[in-house]
Chains A and B, each alone.
Chain A
């Protein structure tokens, strides 16, 4: 029998026992809907998580340190390569070299120091970090009160919430993190801060005192080093810089990438121009009379998280240590895969019930249409014709159920999306789209529903085809 005839007869038969077949089809729809709902929830959550993580900059960042930085030495994967003393130093030309690597968006030095800031003549000691202009788009500064730096060299500062509380003399309640950032912002925005810091200045050779860490005192102490055979030397001068508070950031200082634990942020170009004394200056003093700034670490932003590994390898080949949390991301991806499988299994359970429903409906149809099958055989239908007819009925229910099911699953997703966003809005969170029904899922669900139905039709169709026409015709 030809396909159009088959389809026509199958649809006619489905219409004949409309109620039963509709119920079966609804069963398939519910199964498909639950599968679509579960999988789109999984996919949506995964997309939401990776969107968040991408924004946070955690997954597209490689931190580069010199092998000479012995703090990292001894980690298993970094034992290869030249010994630390012969490794390259991390300075401005190197940074530019890294920035020229393929797939690298930018490479910026991590400038971080502890220093004293004065606000209304009261000194506060804290960690200061420099931020590149690209940090503006990162998630951490998305909710900043006020605004981000007006330019990359502006004498401006963004404060971390806890530091803002400290400036206002408020004691943060331990364990509670409920301070409203906007309350803090009002009295602080536009005010000036005075930062005192130790500036490294190229010095005339000769003056030699003691090397000094820059991280604790504001003494007007001049430190210079004069151990280099080339006679390189510099002095450390205490300076002041006025900063305007332009923003208060509501971020957890422990969760940040580059400027970990920093509570005051400066624009990168400004921080670079200050030539603040860095711990590495002392470490490298004996061998780097280049006049170029040295960096303790450089953060590299990669175009796409998937290219992190390649960039890391390239930088390692240059002779530096690298670190990224790619491995962490791998385990997260794995987690989502497992989650998808679980959600898929739960979704499929409903479809499995629908599967039994199809088998049941078709077996009932055989009993009911026993005589009809006998007649068809008597007038010349082959086993194949009968089998195909039952398959076509199962397939038609599968396709119909698939279409209705996808629509239903999509609708459920929309409703839940809407509901959650209403809830999120009440909790004054931004709305999220964590329900995603990609095209491939729709296609997959329909094909899957069709195939499941065909498999369900296998047994009934075989049974119908094997029916003995003589007995079937005798059956009243």
Chain B
């Protein structure tokens, strides 16, 4: 099934990449990290970007996240061409439209969990009084209300990743981007995190793009698998779990 066929024409895609390229020089050699990728992700879809290391999957994710700019081509997220945004606009885009989780959690070590979750709200200039409550609620939702005032180093990997998820969602983004979210976790906690991500995708209808190199994990949770090699798109298929999810999607209002 092609992506075009699954897309209702009236509904614009959440993400559209056209001839997306990210080249950079390393000494004499030109590295084509992303080399002409064209793809569309409809709103509410859970997509896994698969590939071996160096295939360019993380680079594509960084381009969608607005952390990096394409050398050529365009990434359009919710009708905004990221290639044309200023640095300032790109920062605002990352703040309000995107939530990110990383393999190494990337919590700020000197801050407690509550402060970490609060940080994006500081950048968004959310009222001080509101921030406390929102951070507490977000941490409660991932089951960390008891560890609010702990620093990341005092927590397990799973707990840290849960806090990172809470932080990623605190400004109510439209897109959740996850870069190997279970890479540093054992399989049990990995499953726990992935269940949470799936819950976010299904309950909030949030578009999720996850980079992983574990096909089994992608098959189990994502609706669609996109394969990359040497910066090029080499495969795009529905996961085996897609039928069940498509069914679930269809009956959702």
**A residues at B contact (CB < 8 Å):** 1-2, 4-5, 9, 12-13, 16, 371-372, 374-385, 469-470, 473, 476
B123–A382 CB distance below 8 A: yes
A1–B87 CB distance below 8 A: no
A221 to chain B, nearest CB (A): 102
A466's nearest neighbour on chain B, judged by CB, is B87
Q: Bound complex: CA of A371 vs CA of B120, how far in Å?
A: 16
Q: Bound complex: CA of A381 vs CA of B120, how far in Å?
A: 8
Per-position binary interface string of chain B over residues 178-197, scored 1 when its CB falls under 8 Å from any chain A CB and 0 otherwise:
00000000000000000000
Q: Bound complex: CA of A240 vs CA of B66, how far in Å?
A: 109
B88–A382 CB distance below 8 A: yes
A379–B88 CB distance below 8 A: no
Per-position binary interface string of chain B over residues 97-141, scored 1 when its CB falls under 8 Å from any chain A CB and 0 otherwise:
000101010111111000000011011110010000000000000
Q: Bound complex: CA of A374 vs CA of B111, how far in Å?
A: 15
A385 touching B108 in the complex, CB below 8 Å, given contacts A377-B91, A379-B167: no
B122–A1 CB distance below 8 A: yes
Residue among A5, A380, A383 with max Cβ neighbours from chain B (10 Å): A380
A380–B91 CB distance below 8 A: yes
B122–A375 CB distance below 8 A: no
A473 touching B106 in the complex, CB below 8 Å, given contacts A1-B125, A380-B123, A385-B123: yes
- The residues of B that contact A470 with a CB separation of less than 8 Å are 62, 67-68
A381's nearest neighbour on chain B, judged by CB, is B123
Does residue B92 face the partner (Cβ distance < 8 Å to A)? yes
B95–A379 CB distance below 8 A: yes
A376–B119 CB distance below 8 A: yes
- The residues of A that contact B109 with a CB separation of less than 8 Å are 372
Q: Bound complex: CA of A385 vs CA of B87, how far in Å?
A: 12
Q: Bound complex: CA of A473 vs CA of B58, how far in Å?
A: 12
Q: Bound complex: CA of A382 vs CA of B87, how far in Å?
A: 8
Apart from A16-B110, A379-B120, A380-B96, list 16 A-B contacts with CB within 8 A: A1-B122, A2-B122, A2-B125, A4-B128, A13-B110, A375-B106, A375-B107, A376-B119, A378-B106, A379-B100, A379-B119, A382-B95, A383-B91, A470-B67, A473-B67, A473-B106
Q: Bound complex: CA of A121 vs CA of B110, how far in Å?
A: 97
A380–B171 CB distance below 8 A: yes
B91–A382 CB distance below 8 A: yes
- The residues of A that contact B206 with a CB separation of less than 8 Å are none
Which one of A375, A382, A383, A473 contacts B108 once the chains associate, using CB atoms below 8 Å? A375
- The residues of A that contact B88 with a CB separation of less than 8 Å are 382-384
A65 to chain B, nearest CB (A): 77
Residue among B67, B107, B128, B168 with max Cβ neighbours from chain A (10 Å): B67
B198 to chain A, nearest CB (A): 22
- The residues of A that contact B107 with a CB separation of less than 8 Å are 375
A383–B87 CB distance below 8 A: yes
Q: Bound complex: CA of A370 vs CA of B12, how far in Å?
A: 37
Per-position binary interface string of chain B over residues 77-94, scored 1 when its CB falls under 8 Å from any chain A CB and 0 otherwise:
000000000011001101
Q: Bound complex: CA of A12 vs CA of B96, how far in Å?
A: 25
- The residues of B that contact A382 with a CB separation of less than 8 Å are 87-88, 91-92, 95, 123
Does residue B65 face the partner (Cβ distance < 8 Å to A)? yes
- The residues of A that contact B122 with a CB separation of less than 8 Å are 1-2, 5, 9
B91–A473 CB distance below 8 A: no
A378–B110 CB distance below 8 A: no
B94–A377 CB distance below 8 A: yes
A378–B94 CB distance below 8 A: yes
Q: Bound complex: CA of A1 vs CA of B62, how far in Å?
A: 24
- The residues of B that contact A473 with a CB separation of less than 8 Å are 67, 102, 106
A380 touching B92 in the complex, CB below 8 Å, given contacts A16-B110, A470-B67, A473-B106: yes
- The residues of B that contact A374 with a CB separation of less than 8 Å are 106
B128's nearest neighbour on chain A, judged by CB, is A4
A378–B65 CB distance below 8 A: yes
B97's nearest neighbour on chain A, judged by CB, is A380
A380–B120 CB distance below 8 A: yes
Which one of B65, B100, B106, B123 contacts A1 once the chains associate, using CB atoms below 8 Å? B123
- The residues of B that contact A12 with a CB separation of less than 8 Å are 110-111
The 8 closest A-B pairs by CB, nearest first: A380-B95, A382-B91, A5-B122, A380-B94, A375-B106, A379-B120, A16-B110, A380-B123
Q: Bound complex: CA of A9 vs CA of B122, how far in Å?
A: 10
- The residues of A that contact B92 with a CB separation of less than 8 Å are 380, 382
- The residues of A that contact B102 with a CB separation of less than 8 Å are 378, 473
A372–B96 CB distance below 8 A: no
A372's nearest neighbour on chain B, judged by CB, is B108
A172 to chain B, nearest CB (A): 79
Q: Bound complex: CA of A182 vs CA of B106, how far in Å?
A: 85
B91's nearest neighbour on chain A, judged by CB, is A382
Question: Can you list 8 A-B pairs with a CB-CB distance of less than 8 A?
Answer: A371-B106, A378-B102, A378-B106, A379-B95, A380-B96, A382-B123, A385-B91, A470-B67
Which residues of chain B from 47 to 80 have a CB within 8 Å of any chain A CB?
62, 65, 67-68
A383 to chain B, nearest CB (A): 6
Residue among A13, A376, A384 with max Cβ neighbours from chain B (10 Å): A376
Q: Bound complex: CA of A28 vs CA of B111, how far in Å?
A: 28
- The residues of B that contact A384 with a CB separation of less than 8 Å are 88
B94's nearest neighbour on chain A, judged by CB, is A380
B110–A380 CB distance below 8 A: no
Q: Bound complex: CA of A383 vs CA of B89, how far in Å?
A: 11
A374's nearest neighbour on chain B, judged by CB, is B106
A466 to chain B, nearest CB (A): 9
- The residues of A that contact B94 with a CB separation of less than 8 Å are 377-380
A462 to chain B, nearest CB (A): 13
- The residues of B that contact A379 with a CB separation of less than 8 Å are 94-95, 100, 119-120, 123, 167-168
B105's nearest neighbour on chain A, judged by CB, is A375
A6's nearest neighbour on chain B, judged by CB, is B122
Q: Bound complex: CA of A379 vs CA of B125, how far in Å?
A: 13
A312 to chain B, nearest CB (A): 65
- The residues of A that contact B106 with a CB separation of less than 8 Å are 371, 374-375, 378, 473
- The residues of A that contact B171 with a CB separation of less than 8 Å are 380
A380's nearest neighbour on chain B, judged by CB, is B95
Q: Bound complex: CA of A377 vs CA of B123, how far in Å?
A: 10
Q: Bound complex: CA of A364 vs CA of B144, how far in Å?
A: 34
- The residues of B that contact A476 with a CB separation of less than 8 Å are 104
Residue among B68, B107, B119 with max Cβ neighbours from chain A (10 Å): B119
B131's nearest neighbour on chain A, judged by CB, is A5
A5's nearest neighbour on chain B, judged by CB, is B122
- The residues of A that contact B128 with a CB separation of less than 8 Å are 4
Q: Bound complex: CA of A381 vs CA of B123, how far in Å?
A: 6
A72 to chain B, nearest CB (A): 77
